[in-house]
Amino acid sequence: MPRAVTHHEPKQQRSRDTLERLLAATLKMLEEEGLDGATVPKIAKAAKVAPASVYRRFVDKEALLRATFLHVLSQSNDMNRDAIAKAVQCETLEATVARVISALFEQYRHHPRFLRALVRFMDNDKDEAFVREARLHIAENINVIVDALLPFSAAIRHPSPRRALQFALLSAGSAMEAYALDSNSLWHTVLPLSGKELKAELTRGLVAYLQQAG
C-alpha cells in the first residue's frame, strides 16, 4: 500500500536538521495553541527559519501538518513498545491491564490539544492516503498492546483472545478519548469521575469482560 507523500526527503544533513526543527516546532504549536493556532509564521519563528523555508519543503500548511502527525504517530508507536514491554512484566492480567490503562490515559491527559488537533484534522482532511496511513499507525499501536497481553490468554475466557483484547482496548480507548478530549462528553455529566476513578473502572470492566465465559 503506497504511503502518503507529505514532502521530499532531504538529502543533505543541513536540510534534514531544518526538517526536524520544523516538525518539532509544528508539534510545539499544536500542543500549545491547537490546530487553528499552528500557523506557518508561528511555526517558522519557533523553528528559527523564514516562512519561505517552510514552503520550499511543503506545498502548504496542511502538508506540514500531515508530516508532523505521521512523524509523531510513528515515534509514539516506538515509545509505546518500550513502555508496554515494561508494563507486561506484572504477574497477573489485572495488574498488567491496570498499567496499560494508566499509560494510555496519561497520553490523553498530557497531550489533549495535539490529540484534538489530530482527530479534527483526520475528520476533515481530503488526503485519503494520509488518513489511511494515520489510522494504520493508530491501529498498530493498539495491536502492539494486544500482542503484549496475549501471553495472558490462559486467563481470557473469550473463544478468541485476540479479538477480545482488540474489542476491549478499542472500547477503553474510546472512553478515554471522550473523557480527556471533550469537556461536553456525557462522561462529565452522567458519570463525572476523577481520572483515577475512571482508570480503575476501565481496568475493572476490561478485566471482567476478558474473564467472562465465552
Looking at the 3D structure of the chain, how many domains does it have? Answer: 2
Distance between CA 37 and CA 59 in Å, rounded?
19
Q: Is the pLDDT of residue 177 over 50?
A: yes
| Claim to verify: residue 139 and residue 81 sit in the same structural domain | yes
Domain hosting 74: range is 65-211
| Claim to verify: residue 167 and residue 199 sit in the same structural domain | yes
81: helix, coil or strand? helix
Distance between CA 154 and CA 152 in Å, rounded?
5
Cα–Cα distances in angstroms (integers) from residue 135 to residues 6, 27, 73, in the given order: 16, 19, 10
| Claim to verify: residue 32 and residue 103 sit in the same structural domain | no
| Claim to verify: residue 54 and residue 84 sit in the same structural domain | no
| Claim to verify: residue 136 and residue 46 sit in the same structural domain | no
Give the CATH number, domain containing residue 135. Answer: 1.10.357
- Give the three cell numbers for residue 61: 500548511
| Claim to verify: residue 189 and residue 112 sit in the same structural domain | yes
> Looking at 40-49, 87-96, 141-150, which range is the least confident one?
87-96
Split at pLDDT 50, 70, 90, the class of 148 is confident
Select the highest-mean-pLDDT range: 99-108, 128-137, 139-148: 128-137
Q: Is the pLDDT of residue 1 over 50?
A: no
Distance between CA 14 and CA 18 in Å, rounded?
6
**Per the domain annotation, does 112 fall within a domain?**
yes
**Per the domain annotation, does 2 fall within a domain?**
no
Q: What is the pTM of this model?
A: 0.83
Give the CATH number, domain containing residue 44. Answer: 1.10.10.60
| Claim to verify: residue 72 and residue 46 sit in the same structural domain | no
